Amino acid sequence: MTGEDFITFEGVHKAFGKNVVLDDLSFSVKSGERVTLIGPSGSGKTTILRMLMTLTRPDRGVIGVDGDYLYHEKRGDELLPASEAHIRKVRQRITMVFQHFNLFPNMKVLRNVTEAPIHVLGKSKDEARERGKELLEMVGLGDKLNAHPSQLSGGQQQRVAIARALAVDPDVLLLDEVTSALDPEIAAEVLDVLRDIAKTTDTTMLCVTHAMKFARDVSHRVLMFNEGGIIEDGSPEKLFNEPEHERTQAFLRSVIDET
């Protein structure tokens, strides 16, 4: 199931104004590991995903992805700020699914999925279309290839977004509260799709969610965040059944009735 350390955070610090979101955080994720990040809102979970996606820069610290540094380049023994080209190269291995889907409204469904494979990965149009259709079939939208995103429901849009993310063959898939904007019933459909994906791939996943049952089903490991740091780190069985930290117990009590 797991290999070497694939993602490493070392001494990562981030503050928005005076509000310290991540305080000297270090942790690592192994290749193929599926990790769920839980904790109260504002505890820095989403910031971690956004840093990995280079949407938010850390104030201090280094983030490693498979031996390369995301924001730094090694020159001899020195760590220098990375060039845009270097960041793009490392970022290539990571992609993200967002809370609000963020499909491209100016493109039909299939083109949403094929655009990056063609223009970023350099795949041929035929190959990208073939694979795009396959992925859309897999998320249950094989009949919506030529629809506009605006014609789809929220749940359908999110499933397209998942197909779009998988189409770039990511090593790391970041899921940022992907069902928080959906009705519970629709959310369950989307989570089922993700369960299937988790079962059939060895993609490393970092998942921020409030869907605890889903977290329990798919993750190898759960990290509990509070006030800028990780306060508990363990298997889902351990963390959900016998949480050690008082704060974890309180948090789980507050969310336990949800999916």
Partner 1 sequence: MNEVFDWGGVWDAMPAMLDGLVVALQATLIGYVIALILGLAFALLRRSGSRWVSMPVGFVVEFIRSTPLLVQLFFFFYVLPLIGVSVSPLATGAFALGLHYATYTSEVYRSGIDGVPPGQWEAARALNFSRRRTWTAIILPQAIPRVVPALANYVIAMFKDTPQLLAITVVEMLGAAVAIGSETFRYSEPVAAAGLVYLVVALVMAWLARIVERRFGQVRV
The site for partner 1 (CB under 8 A) is made up of 53-55, 88, 91-92, 94-96, 98, 100, 102-107, 115-116, 119-120, 148-150, 164-165, 168, 174
* C-beta atoms surrounding 130 within 10 Å: 13
CA angle 46, 49, 50 (to 5 degrees): 85
* Residue type (1 letter), 81: P
Is the CB of 53 or the CB of 186 nearer to partner 1? 53
Nearer to partner 1, 22 or 90 (CB): 90
Least distance in Å: CB of 224 to partner 1?
26
150 vs 185, beta carbon nearer partner 1:
150
Q: Would you say 107 or 138 has its CB closer to partner 1? A: 107
Nearest distance, CB of residue 174 and partner 1, angstroms? 8
User: What is the nearest approach in angstroms of partner 1 to the Cβ of residue 35?
Assistant: 18
Q: How would DSSP label each residue in 69-129?
A: ESSEEEETTEEEEPPHHHHHHHHTTEEEE-TT----TTS-HHHHHHHHHHHTS---HHHHH
Nearer to partner 1, 20 or 53 (CB): 53
Token pair belonging to 90: 């490392």
Other Cβ atoms less than 10 A from the Cβ of 93: the count is 17
Minimum CB–partner distance for residue 175 and partner 1 (Å)? 11
Q: How far is the CB of 92 from partner 1 (least distance, A)?
A: 5
Neighbours of 88 (CB within 10 A): 12
